[in-house]
Amino acid sequence: MASLPVPSVQAMVAATGIDHVPPRYLRPTDADEPVASDGGEAEIPVVDFWRLQLGDGDELARLHIACQMALDRYCAAVKITADGLLAAMATNLGVEPEVIAERCVGGVQSVRVQYYPPCGQADKVAGISPHSDADLVTILLQANEVDGLQIRRGGAWLPVRPLEGALIVNVGDILQVFTNGRYKSVEHRVVVDGKKERLSMATFHSPSKNAIVGPLSEMVEHEDDAAYTSMDHDELLKLFFAKKLEGKNFLNPIKKLKNSG
């Protein structure tokens, strides 16, 4: 609903009197949630920045707790988004919405917050080297809306411009394996800016540690069609962390030779 110019509001009040509240200003009663009283459990954390700068341990702990509260809420909301996306993707792939979710009971969600300082030699420096994410889906917040993320499209890098209020969704390597290559993980990198710092927050969604990662039976008509060997998620991650970030090479060890992707 667009705002009214001030003179229009003044004219409305003059015409109807202050006791009449136009419907556009009424709060919806069905969404009326209680307002907590001051000093109760729902206290707003206060952090003394001066003490924080001096390295005061109590203040650091207070900041940590304050951030965790916000982070927990953010992560819970992002998890609902990731689950919803995976269910919709399953439907698009012609399988029941819960086919992917079932493999992800007790799945792992992890968060990485990145800070890219401005750099005098921005055109020569890598923020993050080209890679694909070793998960199902990554939900990324370009927190201060500074350019930097690029995805590989054919032979070129395509900038993913921050869009106010929008989250970026990356298909990850494990979704590529689950779908037997029907959905391909996206190769991406980050470049830095010469003048501006950049902040991002990536939330990764993976199956549980003891899940088997391999093409889902629903995605493979004959056993021979499987493009990847199945492997313990835990073992696969060990391979991932043992390697340098070098484009989409993570799946090489489990790729079956006759297929590519």
Ligand X SMILES: O=C(O)CCC(=O)C(=O)O
Beta strands across the sheet bearing 108-116: 108-116, 198-206, 137-142, 168-171
Beta strands across the sheet bearing 188-191: 126-131, 188-191, 149-153, 156-159
Q: Of these, 86, 146, 202, 216, which contacts ligand X (CB under 6 A)? A: 202
**Please, which residue, 226 or 251, has the CB nearer to Fe ion?**
251
Establish if 237 lies at the interface with ligand X (CB under 6 A): no
Q: Which stretch binds Fe ion (CB under 5 A): 53-61, 111-119, 130-138, 154-162?
A: 130-138
Q: Rounded to the nearest whole angstrom, what is the least distance from the CB of residue 114 to Fe ion in the complex?
A: 9
- β-bridge partners, 170: 138
Q: Which residues inside 134-153 make contact with ligand X, applying CB under 6 A?
A: 140, 148-149
Q: Rounded to the nearest whole angstrom, what is the least distance from the CB of residue 181 to Fe ion in the complex?
A: 20
- β-bridge partners, 159: 150
Residue nearest to ligand X (CB): 200
Q: Rounded to the nearest whole angstrom, what is the least distance from the CB of residue 82 to ligand X in the complex?
A: 15
The Cα 25–Cα 32 span in angstroms is 14
Q: Rounded to the nearest whole angstrom, what is the least distance from the CB of residue 149 to ligand X in the complex?
A: 4
**Going residue by residue from 182 to 201, which x/- string records binding to ligand X, judged by CB under 6 A?**
------x-x---------x-
Cα dihedral 76/77/82/83 (nearest 10)? 70
Q: Rounded to the nearest whole angstrom, what is the least distance from the CB of residue 61 to Fe ion in the complex?
A: 30
Contacts of 60 (CB under 8 A, 6+ apart): 52
Establish if 133 lies at the interface with Fe ion (CB under 5 A): yes
From Fe ion, ligand X, none, which one binds at residue 112 (CB under 5 to 8 Å depending on kind)? Answer: ligand X
Q: Rounded to the nearest whole angstrom, what is the least distance from the CB of residue 224 to ligand X in the complex?
A: 34
Closest CA to 147 of 114, 112, 193, 115: 193
Establish if 173 lies at the interface with Fe ion (CB under 5 A): no
Counting residues that bind ligand X (by CB under 6 A) gives 11
* Binding footprint of Fe ion on the chain (CB under 5 A): 133
* Binding footprint of ligand X on the chain (CB under 6 A): 112, 114, 128, 133, 140, 148-149, 188, 190, 200, 202
